[in-house]
Amino acid sequence: MVRFLFHRLLLILPTFIGITIVAFAFVRVLPGDPVLLIAGERGVTPERYQDLMQQFGYDRPIWVQYFDYLAGIFQGDFGTSISTKRPVIQDFLTLFPATIELSLCAITFAVALGVPMGIIAAVKRGTWFDQTLMGTALVGYSMPIFWLGLLLIILFSGILGWTPVSGRISLMYYFPAVTGFMTIDSLLSGQEGAFTSALSHLILPTITLGTIPLAVVARQTRSAMLEVLGEDYVRTARAKGMPTRRVIGLHALRNALIPVITTIGLQIGVMMAGAILTETIFSWPGVGKWMIDAIGRRDYPVVQAGLLLIALVVMTVNLIVDVLYGLINPRIRHQ
Amino acid sequence: MTDPAAPNPRVNADHPPVGRGERFREFWYYFSVNRGAVIGVFVFSLLVLVAIFAPWIAPHSPTQQFRDALLVPPPWIEGGRAEFLFGTDAVGRDILSRLIHGARYSLLIGAIVVTLSLSTGIMFGLLAGYARGWVDTVLMRLMDLILAFPSLLLALVLVAILGPGLVNTMIAIALVLQPHFTRLTRSAVLAEVNREYVTSARVAGAGHMRLMFRTILPNCLAPLIVQATLSFSTAILDAAALGFLGLGAQPPTPEWGTMLAEARQFILRAWWVVTFPGLAILITVLSINLVGDGLRDALDPKLKRS
């Protein structure tokens, strides 16, 4: 197991270096002089220009600059935002819990609905139920989620008035961020109604972000289940006279879930991309909206660090999924 | 299609040689089993026709502003006018006409992105799988690197660097979709390159180029066709998403995502400006995905029930 873990860690090393090179190159390929970009529209005197060149180290060879950049990353220095003047990592860490909270809710929504849907569709293969479910899943898979979000707002916030349009919690409530998760913090604050408010703000973004993963999980569960249901050991279990429920729950499902778990892991990257759209629609103060705002404000250090940090998060999650996969499936571990 | 120097793997004693028409008929037999796929082909063909004949079909110009008709609802709602079937937007443009013209952009984006990423993907994949060694290593690590980023995020940042616009959107999306084609081609090439028909073509004196493009490539096409279809719909979705975020096609271009972005502020007042562009995206993407599913069933020999 240790060897397997070490091997996996070794494998992500080139990816890590690659990601940092891309993020580093990002500022370099920007049209225009980086110093003039930082100086802004008022411009700088030639002396000040030289000062800035030296201060930011742009006068040194490119590879020295890269290693400086890399060393900075290891010390937690991801640059400074032009607009807020704060270290980028600080803003990221403040906003990231909002994105995690939303993503966790969305993936829970997708798995809690998608896995049972896939199982039922597979067991009832070919029936109208299966066809309707898979038809719906394909619609969900083809859904422009930024449009879905808007439709949900029209229906649930506009016409029915059930849910709020944007934000994480009603402005009535204020309490310090302890965990960064609004639902937990609202419970901790003990204020009446705060938790309900946080929850109601979560519903529409969760559905919006969770729709595509839901469709993917349902389709994947169905096809994995169909494959397993045709296996000899399932037939043997049936032939022994085991009740169908037990055959499906005990024999089929366990084996069918392995590819499903991989699929869920792969959805994390999709979710980070989806979070950009979802957060923009619902003014959800997470890293996705932060990136879009930074692009709009031409706050390039934020865009650069955001790209790097999100890629690192996805890489780490993939590594964890990979390791978990090895834990449940010895065949992978001993390859 | 296949190299005459190489014996066609499909031809052996059990199966008589099949012509192109015969092969298409076989393909259509498997494809048409999937009813959804046939519907998908039908809807998609309709969309292509709409895109081609847009200026003749559209009742109005996509940019003409009817100053007396701002945010007019569709005719079946009170206050609607029969000349604006899907209503008008905030500056009085006919939404239906804009959608019809928008079909051109979406299909063009899909076609160009797929062409770009498919052709470069095939090149890289053939090269990596055929040459192996350091070429393979360098190319595949590069592909892994692109795949390490969430695709929409990378496309977004690329467009932010290159500058917003339709052309840059297409370049960025093609770049992030391309690794899938490279990987697919490479793995197909690796599976084929040691087959006997390839060896025999090599012995018969076929050069590298001929081996790569005429002997091996035609036998790797099935998964590439399926992937191309799926990428077509992804490209349309991503381009619309970038348009929605204000980085894709710029107003007043009647691109569907851009239309949604413009309509956002009116969602609670005028549902039709939001509903129809999104519906157009959904129908287009859905029809292509239906075709993709059908193609996979028809072309994937593992799932064939023969």
What is the predicted pLDDT for the residue at A38? Answer: 63
DSSP 8-class letter at A231 = S
Do the domain assignments include residue B244? Answer: yes
More confident of the two residues B256 and B28: B256
How far apart are the C-alpha atoms of A311 and A330, rounded to whole Å? 28
Which residue carries 């999650």 as its tokens? A317
Do the domain assignments include residue A85? Answer: no
Do the domain assignments include residue B174? Answer: yes
A66 touches chain B (CB under 8 A): no
Do the domain assignments include residue A81? Answer: no
Domain end point (choices A74, A106, A124): A74
The pair of three-digit structure tokens given for residue A63, joined into one six-digit string: 């590879």
Do the domain assignments include residue B52? Answer: yes
| Chain B residues within 8 Å of chain A (Cβ atoms) | 36, 141, 144-145, 148-154, 156-157, 160-161, 163, 233, 237, 240-241, 244-247, 257, 260, 264, 267-268, 271, 274-275, 277-278, 281-282, 285-286, 289-290, 293
> Residue A270 belongs to what domain range?
90-334
How far apart are the C-alpha atoms of B191 and B220, rounded to whole Å? 9
Q: For B35-67, how does the pLDDT look when each residue is reduced to its tens digit (9 = 90+)?
A: 888 999 999 999 999 999 989 988 888 888 888
Residues A162-172, mean pLDDT to the nearest whole number: 81
**Does the pLDDT value for residue A172 go beyond 80?**
no
Q: What is the DSSP string of A162-204?
A: -S-SSSSS-TT-----SSS-HHHHHHHHT-TTHHHHHHHHHHH
Q: What is the DSSP string of chain B?
A: ---TTSPPTT-SSSS----HHHHHHHHHHHHHHSHHHHHHHHHHHHHHHHHHTHHHH-SS-TT---TT-TTPPPTTSTT--TT-TT-B-TT--BHHHHHHHHHHHHHHHHHHHHHHHHHHHHHHHHHHHHH-HHHHHHHHHHHHHHHHS-HHHHHHHHHHHH-SSHHHHHHHHHHHHHHHHHHHHHHHHHHHTTSHHHHHHHHTT--HHHIIIIIIGGGGHHHHHHHHHHHHHHHHHHHHHHHHTTSSSPTTS--HHHHHHHHGGGTTT-HHHHHHHHHHHHHHHHHHHHHHHHHHHHH-TTT---
Radius of gyration, CA atoms only, chain A: 24
A276·B245 Cβ contact <8 A: yes
| Residue A147 and residue B260 in contact, taking contact as beta carbons nearer than 8 Å | yes
Predicted TM-score of the model (pTM): 0.86
**Chain B residues touching residue A144 (CB < 8 angstroms):** 237, 240-241, 244, 257, 260, 278, 281-282, 285
**Chain centroid, CA A21 distance in Å:** 22
Beta bridge partners of A194: none
User: What is the share, in percent, of chain B residues with pLDDT greater than 70?
Assistant: 92
Q: Do residues A194 and A281 share a domain? A: yes
> Residue B78 belongs to what domain range?
48-305
**Does the pLDDT value for residue B12 go beyond 60?**
no
CATH code (residue B135): 1.10.3720.10
Q: Do residues A18 and A124 share a domain? A: no
Residues A236-240, mean pLDDT to the nearest whole number: 85
The pair of three-digit structure tokens given for residue A284, joined into one six-digit string: 């959800």
What is the predicted pLDDT for the residue at A41? Answer: 61
Picking from A17, A150, A159, A322 by the largest number of B CB atoms within 10 A of its own CB, the best residue to mutate is A150
Do the domain assignments include residue B21? Answer: no
Do the domain assignments include residue B212? Answer: yes
How far apart are the C-alpha atoms of A159 and A166, rounded to whole Å? 15
CATH code (residue A153): 1.10.3720.10
**Chain B residues touching residue A103 (CB < 8 angstroms):** none
Do the domain assignments include residue B273? Answer: yes
Domain end point (choices A25, A40, A74): A74
Q: Give the total number of structural domains in chain A.
A: 2
Q: Among residues B275, B266, B289, B286, which one has the least CA distance to residue B92?
A: B266
Beta bridge partners of B94: B88
Q: Do residues A61 and A183 share a domain? A: no
How far apart are the C-alpha atoms of A70 and A62, rounded to whole Å? 12
| Residue B252 and residue B193 in contact, taking contact as beta carbons nearer than 8 Å | no
**Chain A residues touching residue B289 (CB < 8 angstroms):** 138, 141-142
Q: For B274-288, how does the pLDDT look when each residue is reduced to its tens digit (9 = 90+)?
A: 999 999 999 999 999
Q: How many residues does chain B have?
A: 306
A153·B154 Cβ contact <8 A: no
Q: Do residues A142 and A196 share a domain? A: yes
**Does the pLDDT value for residue A214 go beyond 90?**
yes
What is the predicted pLDDT for the residue at B11? Answer: 44
Do the domain assignments include residue A137? Answer: yes
Do the domain assignments include residue B189? Answer: yes
Distances (CA, A) of A150 to A154, A280, A281, B237, B244: 6, 11, 7, 16, 12
Do the domain assignments include residue B16? Answer: no
Q: Do residues A103 and A61 share a domain? A: no
Half-sphere exposure of A212 (CA within 13 A, CB side): 27
**Does the pLDDT value for residue B220 go beyond 70?**
yes
What is the predicted pLDDT for the residue at A114? Answer: 93
Q: Do residues A312 and A190 share a domain? A: yes
**Does the pLDDT value for residue A111 go beyond 50?**
yes
Q: Give the total number of structural domains in chain B.
A: 1
Q: For A260-283, how does the pLDDT look when each residue is reduced to its tens digit (9 = 90+)?
A: 887 888 788 788 888 999 999 999
**Chain A residues touching residue B160 (CB < 8 angstroms):** 295, 303
Q: Do residues A104 and A201 share a domain? A: yes
